[in-house]
């Protein structure tokens, strides 16, 4: 039976690898708390009921991923490469990116080889000189004897390389780029009151670290955009979805306003001058007050609203009614994008803190089968 719609959900399940280890803890109390959280995650996934689920902060390695998702998402298959070597995923650390496909759906999926990503980025004329086997040059400040100096000849790379899912739904192919970009966190402890006008002048090491972190995450975002631009060069109506924890939300924070003055999501979305390549945001028509996925008080930006949007779903113009591109079989539905506040609250509202599923709320987007031209769309 043909699918009339499909739902994509992106969810950062906080420290899933640690949770999996805690489930076999020698401490009965630790095991009890881990089991309570496991049950909550299982309930939340069941209520979300996505057809495709992207998980960031998933377990490390294929076998641990299979073990974990068998406990919390038994109705889903995790898409793997068939290798326990981290280099085949190019993900370091214990926070891995996984796609899950709901069983008994006319959906098949496989993962793009990392070599193909690198070839695509290197083929981009703007980066071919600088790109070197998955690494690229960056420049950022560092503290040298209480002076801020510029480090020019540095390199950066994806600590958690984006994973690209090639999906076939009812015979129609699309790509979903799953991301978990670098954190802006630094280990430098500031001194003084962050509200003081002289705060940054008195914390020069902190300035160097926060600018370095933001420079790195921006270049990761640019690398994703280079892959997307290359795809558009070979397919002007490429059906591409980008989703995941981008560790940044629309708007310019205090640090961006002071030192960089750019918007990371704007960099990823593209330029309006090349409108056919522009990515729409799933929450474009969601209620303003509901466009947040994490509650976080930033000590460096005390005036900022703590309800921030770190988790995103964006999609290319082929999912809209833009007449300048060839339309994909499924279209972004009006009102189809949302942060899953209701489901998250229903699951976590009656549970103690230790059993809460995650500090991130899931973000979802529903795409419906396209009917007559001009009907629906985002």
Task: Take residue 357 and report the two structure tokens written for it.
Answer: 């599923």
What pLDDT is stored for residue 372 in this prediction?
61
Token pair 């950022």 in the structure block, residue: 140
Q: Which residues contact 25 (CB under 8 A, 6 or more apart)?
A: 31, 34
Helix/strand/coil for 212: helix
List pLDDT tens digits, range 153-176. Answer: 889 999 999 999 999 999 999 999
Cα-based distances in Å from 319 to 4, 150, 311, 316: 14, 43, 20, 6
Strand partners, 337: 365
List pLDDT tens digits, range 171-197. Answer: 999 999 999 999 988 889 889 998 888
Cα-based distances in Å from 11 to 15, 245, 338: 12, 8, 12
Contacts by 75-80, CB closer than 8 A, 24 or more apart: 75/46, 75/102, 75/103, 76/45, 76/100, 76/101, 76/102, 76/103, 77/101, 77/103, 79/109, 79/110, 79/111, 79/165, 80/111
What pLDDT is stored for residue 12 in this prediction?
98
Q: What is the mean pLDDT of residues 101-128?
A: 90
Rg of the chain (C-alpha set)? 21
Q: Do 59 and 68 contact (CB within 8 A), yes or no?
A: yes
Strands 330-339 and 363-369, sheet pairing:
antiparallel
Can you list the alpha helix ranges (DSSP code H) found in 150-292?
Answer: 204-234, 254-255, 264-269
**pTM of structure:** 0.93
- DSSP at 329: S
What pLDDT is stored for residue 141 in this prediction?
86
Residue bearing the bigger pLDDT, 55 or 130:
55
Q: What is the mean pLDDT of residues 342-358?
A: 98
Q: Which residues contact 311 (CB under 8 A, 6 or more apart)?
A: 10, 11, 12, 243, 244, 245, 246, 293, 294, 339, 360, 361, 362, 363
List pLDDT tens digits, range 244-303. Answer: 999 887 667 788 888 876 778 888 888 766 778 899 999 999 998 999 999 988 888 777
Domains of the chain by start residue, with CATH: 5-369 (3.60.10.10)
Residue bearing the bigger pLDDT, 375 or 39:
39
């Amino acid at each position: 039976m043909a699918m009339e719609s499909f739902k994509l959900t992106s969810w950062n399940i906080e420290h899933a690898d640690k949770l999996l280890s805690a489930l076999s803890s020698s401490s009965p109390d630790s095991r009890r708390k881990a089991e309570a959280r496991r049950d909550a995650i299982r309930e939340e996934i069941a209520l979300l009921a996505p057809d495709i689920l992207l998980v960031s902060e998933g377990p490390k390695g294929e076998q641990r991923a299979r073990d974990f998702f068998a406990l919390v998402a038994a109705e889903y298959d995790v898409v793997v490469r068939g290798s326990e070597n981290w280099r085949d995923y190019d993900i370091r650390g214990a926070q891995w990116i996984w796609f899950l496909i709901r069983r008994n759906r006319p959906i098949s999926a496989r993962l793009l080889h990392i070599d193909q990503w690198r070839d695509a980025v290197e083929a981009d004329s703007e980066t071919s000189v600088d790109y070197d086997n998955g690494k690229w040059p960056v420049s950022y400040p560092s503290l040298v004897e209480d002076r801020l100096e510029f480090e020019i000849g540095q390199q950066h790379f994806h600590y958690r390389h984006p994973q690209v899912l090639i999906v076939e739904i009812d015979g129609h192919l699309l790509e979903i780029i799953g991301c978990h970009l670098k954190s802006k966190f630094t280990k430098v402890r500031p001194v003084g009151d962050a509200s003081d006008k002289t705060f940054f002048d008195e914390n020069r090491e902190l300035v160097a670290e926060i600018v370095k972190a933001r420079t790195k995450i921006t270049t990761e975002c640019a690398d994703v955009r280079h892959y997307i631009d290359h795809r558009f060069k070979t397919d002007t109506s490429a059906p591409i979805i980008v989703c995941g924890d981008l560790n940044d939300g629309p708007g310019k924070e205090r640090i961006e306003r002071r030192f960089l003055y750019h918007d990371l999501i704007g960099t990823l979305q593209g330029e309006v001058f090349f409108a056919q390549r522009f990515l729409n945001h799933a929450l474009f028509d969601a209620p303003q007050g509901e466009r947040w996925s994490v509650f976080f008080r930033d000590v460096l930006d005390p005036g900022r609203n703590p309800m921030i949007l770190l988790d995103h779903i964006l999609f290319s113009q082929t999912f809209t009614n833009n007449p300048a591109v060839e339309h994909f079989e499924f279209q972004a539905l009006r009102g189809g994008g949302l942060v899953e506040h209701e489901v998250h609250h229903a699951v976590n509202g009656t549970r103690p803190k230790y059993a809460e599923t995650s500090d991130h709320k899931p973000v979802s987007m529903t795409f419906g089968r396209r009917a007559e031209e001009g009907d629906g769309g985002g």
